[in-house]
Amino acid sequence: CNCLHGTSCDRWAGCVCLPGWTGKLCETKCLDGTYGRGCSGECTCQNGAFCDPSDGQCNCTEGWYGMHCTRPCLSGRYGWRCRQACDCKNNATCHHVDGSCTCAPPWTGQRCDPVGCPPSKYGLTCEQNCTCENGARCHGLNGACKCQPGWKGVLQAVNCPPDKGGEMCEDDCNCLHDASCDRWAGCICPPGWTGNICETKCPDGTYGRGCNSECPCQNGAVCDPTDGQCNCTEGWYGVHCSRPCLSGRYGWRCRQACECKNNATCHHVDGICTCVPPWTGQRCD
């Protein structure tokens, strides 16, 4: 028969190809857009996602997630599997693919940071007059005064400087994992993190902002604490890892081809063969 890729040979039909392969000797991978046994399945992946020729599972491109890669990253996230945290400032929008910032007027720059005001001005358009005295510096965004040595006074500020909070902006936020600092609430954690300074990953079985969502993953799959996406254990696939490998496949993402002979069954996790009488041996041959 000379069958390739672990294919079995039928006495009359010849090579019986495994899912993902076709041809007389099973030498050809399924064409793009098809998958499965006989390449008869039609891929449903979108937005440039790669379709696994064996089982049709979608491997999403950057900026997309979901079973068919139809959902853009949630707000504040971008990139592969939406793992990257956006770094845009001042209510700018972040592109879900590459993280580039689209600034709201009048902000500019790569991260939409303040462009700076003249020494005696502050505000979004530098329209406000600073009231600092005795050589104190005026914050360009909120008018907060930074006193010179030997002087002190009440800090007048609409918003605190970055990583500062409290009534007088005297507290250091020290937020971790790109969390934002709110003047009164403290650290606002990104999805997947919790704690006073966002130092703790979501507990097992939970994910998302505030760790308030319950993971739907099954069969020992690892749940991504950010978006709840399931990373299946060996022998399972599907959006919730609820489906065992198709017949003839086993292992991680069902990539391994079974080598069992003579109608033996192959375990979907480790590929171990269960022989039918009278066959015996590791491969029932």
Where are the chain's structural domains? Answer: 178-233, 245-285
How many CA atoms lie less than 13 Å away from 279 in the CB half-sphere?
14
For domain 245-285, the CATH architecture is Ribbon (2.10)
pLDDT score for 156: 46
Q: Mapping DSSP to helix (H, G, I), strand (E, B) and coil, where does residue 211 land? A: helix
**Letter string b/e over residues 131-151, b meaning 16 or more CB atoms within 10 A of that residue's CB:** ebeeebebbbbbbbbeeeeee
Q: How many Å apart are CA 191 and CA 178, to the nearest integer?
A: 11
pLDDT score for 157: 45
pTM of the model: 0.44
Q: What are phi and psi of 252, to 5 degrees?
A: -65, 125
pLDDT score for 193: 92
pLDDT score for 209: 87
Q: List the chain residues with pLDDT less than 50.
A: 155-157
pLDDT score for 247: 87
CATH number for the region 178-233 comes to 2.170.300.10
